[in-house]
Each structure stands twice: as C-alpha cells, then as structure tokens.
Amino acid sequence: MCDEEVVIIGAGICGLATALALHKKGIKSIIMERSESLRNNTGAAIGIRPNGWRALDQLGVADILRHTAILLQRERVVSLDGGRQQKISLNHCVGETRCLRRKDLIDTLYAALPPATVKFGCQLESIKLDPQTNNPILRFIDGTSIITKVVIGCDGGKSIVADFLNLKPIKMFPRYAIRGLTNYPHGHPFGHEFTRFRKDDMLLGRIPIDNNLIYWFFSQPNIPKDEGIWKNNEVIRQYTIEWLSNCPQEIQEMAKNADINSLSFTDLRYRAPWDLLIGNFSRGTVTVAGDAMHIMGPFLGQGGSAALEDAVVLARNMATTGLNHREIGEAFNEFVRERRMRVVRLSLQVYLIGMLLDSSRLKKTLWIILLKLLFPNQESHMDYDCGGL
C-alpha cells in the first residue's frame, strides 16, 4: 500500500506550479520540500515572457500576478564602450513580458494550493524501486521512508531524482552572475524598459518590476576566489560597486542602494543541449521537470517560463491516464516526447549566446553564424504555446 500516490520533490516554481496544475485536473499531490519553510526569500526576480504568461493563465494565477508587475514595452541594448544603442519594441509579441519578484510568484502559487499540500523539512536522500511492485521508495535524511506510485522531481540543478535517472552531470558556463533588487522610494526614471549594458566582457541588465522597484543582474567571466566569501552579502555589494565604478552614475547608484538581503552570487549552470537530446527523463513512474530536467543559463530569460510550461504539459498528460504503473509510464513518455525538442531548442540558443559572450574573435564569428542559421528569428521562443490544461 502506498503512503502517497503522487509525490513532487521540491517546492520551487516548478514544484508548486506542477502541484497546482494537477490540482486543477483533480489529481491530489504532496510536495516534499527540504527547507523548514517556504523558500520565498531566495532569488530576486524572474522575467516571464509571453509563453510563460500563457502557462500562468492556464494555472489560473496570471491575473493576480499582473497586478504586481508593470508591462515592459521595449528592450534596449547599450554598448558602454562605444555608446552604440539598439532598441527593440516588444509590441510585436503576441502576449506580454513582465518581471516578477520571485517572492510574489512563489507566494501566489502556494496560496492557490489546497492546505497542507507542502510538507516542509523533508530532504530527499535517495530513491529506489520496490523489487516486487516497481513503486518508488523515497528515503529522507531523517531516516524516514515512504512508498509512492508517482515521483516528479522538481528539485533543481542538484536533483536527486535526476541522479536516479542517470542524467549526465550539469555543466558550468565560464562566468558568474550577481543579482539584486533596488528600490527607488520616489520612483525610478527608467520607464517600462528592459535595458542591457555591455562593456568588454561584462553584461549588466536592468528591469523594472514596478514604478519603484528595479531588478538587476551583473555578469562577468569567472574569477578564482574563495567561494565562501560570496555568502557574505556585504562582500557581494562591495565587489559589484568596485566593478561598476567606471559605469554611468545611475548604474553605480543602483548597486550602492541595492537591498542587501536581495543580493546573490551564483555560477551559471546548464544541462548541455546534446544531453537533453538523448537523456532519459523518465523511468517507470519517475520523471523530472523544470531545472531538474533542463537547467539553462539566463541569457533568454526562459528558465522560469519553461518550468511553467512543463507543469501544464505534465498535468495534461497525467490527466488522460489513470494512476496505475503502465498508464503513468505512458503519460510520462508522452510528456518527455512533447517537451524534449522544445527544451533542446531553448537550451541550444542559450548555449550559443553564452559561448558568444566568452570566446575569441574567431569563435564569436562561428557562434554568430550558427545563431543566425539555427535561429533566424531569435525572438520566436516567446511565441510558443504549451496548450491548455
């Protein structure tokens, strides 16, 4: 007898969205979250492209979230080396682009779930299959175990579920990112514009969340330093101020006035496109979704939106079958088939853009040629529709 029928590992964006999608299809699930409370204070913000809003509409929370973030009207790319600028209107997109505080997205998804859907303080240690029933047996670090019919791993880039599926290790881009939020009590002067600044091998982005709050990220090639120091947010702030000292005053002020609790330093990780092409993302009644399946760099702003798509597609496929072993296996196979080429294309485009930032002149020419050949419309990833629940 199973303790639970459907267990989701991880209460991040994908885990909460998957539980909500299943709930809307009448399928009860339990989320096992390793933290002692909801992780709504980690991460600063997340850009949601039109395809992500289509998924949020299906989940029934889009209208709530629209009130928390302004509609972005254009993008601008500024070269701080030569002053060149490129403006891109967002009006051509079928849909919308907004930047959400991660806390707002997490809180909204969590509030839409039935009470007690998330069990906190449950850190997964291992998975094995019952030799008689093939049902997954989950063991947690506190020594407890449960037997379940279905396991969905939404446990991020360091996924225990992905390890069970023998997925290839994730890889690292040769750069890191610092992220933060800055509040302007009297309003910021940046309008509804997503601005990216480039200088040498530095990339800085600035995105308004509302009329007072700005999300920003700063990325450079990796530097060999003690990783321990990057857990100190004051060190992150001082380092950022130092590296932006030759930038325009408005950028320097943005870093100096940042909310210190919002700052984070992260390496940029990805699952290689060729591994996504051949990876085995399900085994029996176990599968993965979100970053556990297809963690990617931030260069398209699609990681969160792709995870929301996963939730809708996975629930739709599960709802067409029962919960016996064979039927769930078929649903997971169909989910993987439907998602594979979508995430391969996203990850390949992100990979080429990431390599373009940190290559020699000759390699940059090669990456540009490949991008133009493979992605003649580099905005087409936003036109994707994951379909209805």
pLDDT at 11 over 50: yes
Strand partners for 195: 76, 206
Give the least confident one: 90-99, 105-114, 243-252, 379-388. 90-99
Give the least confident one: 30-39, 129-138, 180-189, 221-230. 221-230
pLDDT at 220 over 60: yes
pLDDT averaged over the chain? 91
What are the structure tokens assigned to 89, written together? 């209107």
State mean pLDDT over 91-95.
Answer: 55
Q: Cβ distance 59 to 17 under 8 Å?
A: yes
For each of the domains in the chain, give its residue range(s) and CATH number, in order of start. 4-64+101-171+270-383 (3.50.50.60), 173-268 (3.30.9.30)
CA 388 remoteness from chain centre: 21
CA–CA gap between residue 101 and residue 46 (Å, rounded): 6
pLDDT at 92 over 80: no
298-344 pLDDT tens trace: 999 999 999 999 999 999 999 998 888 889 999 999 999 999 999 99
pLDDT at 372 over 50: yes
Q: Which DSSP string corresponds to 225-275?
A: --GGGGG-HHHHHHHHHHHTTTS-HHHHHHHHTB-GGG-EEEEEEE--HHH
pLDDT at 378 over 90: no
| Percentage of the chain lying above the pLDDT 70 cut | 95
Return all residues near 168 (Cβ < 8 A) that are at least 6 apart.
Answer: 271, 272, 275, 279
Give the least confident one: 199-203, 206-210, 272-276, 335-339. 199-203
State mean pLDDT over 144-166.
Answer: 96
State mean pLDDT over 65-91.
Answer: 82
* More confident: 325 or 136: 136
Residue 171 DSSP SS3 = strand
State residue 367's pLDDT score: 86
State residue 323's pLDDT score: 83
pLDDT at 69 over 80: yes
CA–CA gap between residue 314 and residue 338 (Å, rounded): 9
CA 110 remoteness from chain centre: 17
pLDDT at 117 over 90: yes
pLDDT at 1 over 50: no
State mean pLDDT over 223-245.
Answer: 81
* More confident: 115 or 321: 115
| Percentage of the chain lying above the pLDDT 90 cut | 72
CA 38 remoteness from chain centre: 17
338-368 pLDDT tens trace: 999 999 999 999 999 988 887 777 888 888 8
pLDDT at 5 over 50: yes
Residue 95: which pLDDT band, with cuts at 50, 70 and 90? low
